[in-house]
A and B are shown apart, each in its own frame.
Chain A
Amino acid sequence: MSIIEAPATSLRVLRFDRVQRGAHWANALLFFSLMVTAIPLYFGSFFGIVWPRHLIEMIHLWSGLALPLPIIISLIGPWGKAMRRDVRRINYWTREEIRWVRTLGRSTLEADKFNPGQKLNAIFVSASILVMLVTGAMLQWFRFFPVSWRPGATFVHDLFAYAIFFAVFGHIVLALTHRNALRSIFKGWVSRSWAERHAARWLREERPDNTEL
Chain B
Amino acid sequence: MSVESRRGTAKTPPNDVNVGRRVFLGLAALGALGVAFGNSVQNFLGDVVGSGLGGLLPGGDRFRIYSITGAYPKISRDKYRLKVSGLVDHPTTFTLADLQSMPKTSFTKAFQCVTGWRVPDVPWEGVKLSDLLDHVGVKSGAVAVSFDSYDNADTESLTLEQAHLPDVIVAYSMLGAPVTTEHGGPVRLYVAPMFGYKSLKWLSGIRVVDVIEPGFWEQNGYPVNGWLDGTTGPNNPDPGLT
Contact = CB atoms under 8 A, between A and B. Distances in A.
Tier of interface size on chain B? 35 or more
B53 to A, nearest CB: 5
Nearest to A142: B220
A71 interface: no
Contact of A53 (B30, B31, B54, B182): B182
Majority secondary structure of chain B interface residues (helix, strand, loop or mixed): loop
B20 A135 contact: no
Tier of interface size on chain A? 35 or more
B72 interface: yes
A44 B236 CA distance: 33
A212 interface: no
A155 B16 contact: no
B39 A43 contact: no
B184 to A, nearest CB: 12
A131 B53 CA distance: 18
Given A50-B181, A151-B42, A94 B16 contact: yes
Nearest to B45: A155
B18 A92 contact: yes
Majority secondary structure of chain A interface residues (helix, strand, loop or mixed): helix
Interface string A128-164: 1011001100100011001111111111101110100
Interface stretch (A72-80, A116-124, A171-179): A116-124
B190 interface: no
B28 A131 contact: yes
A153 B35 contact: yes
B63 A44 contact: yes
Nearest to B64: A42
A95 interface: yes
Contacts of B11: 85, 88-89, 92, 205
Interface of A: 41-46, 50, 53-54, 57, 85, 87-95, 97-98, 119-120, 123-124, 126-128, 130-131, 134-135, 138, 142-143, 146-156, 158-160, 162, 205-206
27 contacts: A43-B62, A44-B63, A45-B65, A50-B180, A53-B72, A89-B11, A91-B20, A91-B21, A92-B11, A92-B13, A93-B16, A94-B16, A123-B27, A131-B27, A135-B35, A146-B221, A152-B39, A154-B116, A154-B117, A155-B35, A155-B38, A155-B39, A155-B42, A158-B53, A159-B53, A162-B53, A206-B10
